[in-house]
Amino acid sequence: MKKLLLCLFIVLMCLATSVSSVFASDYFNTDDIAKGVIHITYDGGGKTKVMIQKGDKKYTYDINSSGKKETYPLQLGNGTYKISILTNTSGNSYKLIATENIDVKMMNPNSVFLTSIQNINWKVDSKAVAKAVDLTKDVADLEKKAKILWNYMVKNNVYDYNKLATLSTGYVPVIDQTLVDKKGICYDFSSLYAAMLRSQGTPAKLIKGYAPKNATGYHAWNEVYDEAQGKWIVIDTTYDLQVIAKNPKVTMIKNTEDFSKVYEY
């Protein structure tokens, strides 16, 4: 009897795995895995999340459940990722809809930081990209481009304290809206600056964490890849745009030790 139950359990597990794989193929698009991103489409309705795991590290995102494709970064380097879609059942409880293990092999580990993703969402015809092209059209040097775009960010935007007070859960920046409004919060400015840089060929990260010398509470800023030095540099446009009027000599590159990273995108 025990052997029969064990065999039945194994059969059910195999069936469950098979069904999960079928579902996963419907939801997960791996065409751009070599670039370090995965496209996910889910149209089942309800409050839904995507969980991306590699080893003991995990990122969780909200996802629209109306069938609109969204793109998520695989920013934890090469290796095997577990991608899962979960839907809310009640309160803080979720059930698994689909899961799949995916092997990632990027030739260039920085390629993931050049792509358009959910919270740095840009297209070639975005207004923000057109602005970046216009500002840097006569410049080939990537470091100079970063400085030009930083200068634009800090001199043409203001911090929106009212928006911070009324921010909705799961908020995701819209870069063209930030460009037009010329105001926002740290998340908006970090997303816009990263999108402009990425569109011009410079790897850029959006970072979330803490910077006690620059901000109170949770903060967002950027890390930009300095090709000449072969390293990432810290840039905080939100802090700079708030102090540049009183301190015109504020420097673009910040001290890494003043920032405590929690997440990077």
Residue extents of the structural domains in the chain: 2-107, 119-264
pLDDT at 164: 86
Name the β-bridge partners of 82.
53, 101
Q: What is the pLDDT of residue 17?
A: 43
pLDDT value at residue 23: 58
Cα(first)–Cα(last) distance of the chain, in Å? 52
Each as own residue / partner, the long-range contacts of residues 24-28 (CB below 8 Å, 24 or more positions apart, any chain) are: 24/83, 24/98, 24/99, 24/100, 26/98, 27/85, 27/97, 27/98, 28/83, 28/98, 28/100, 28/102
Pick the CATH number of 2-107 from 3.40.50.300, 2.60.40.10, 3.10.129.10, 3.40.50.2300: 2.60.40.10
Which has the closest alpha carbon to 198: 110, 73, 114? 114
Could you tell me if 219 and 188 are in contact, meaning their C-beta atoms sit under 8 angstroms apart?
Answer: no
Mean pLDDT by 10 residues, the chain (265 residues): 36 39 76 97 96 97 96 98 97 96 96 98 98 95 94 97 89 98 98 98 97 95 94 98 93 97 98
> Which pLDDT belongs to residue 125?
97
Sign of CA dihedral 70, 73, 78, 80: negative
Max Cα-Cα span within the chain: 80
pLDDT at 5 (0 to 100)? 37
Whether CATH 3.10.620.30 fits 119-264:
yes
Q: How many Cβ atoms are within 10 Å of 29's Cβ, its own excluded? A: 15
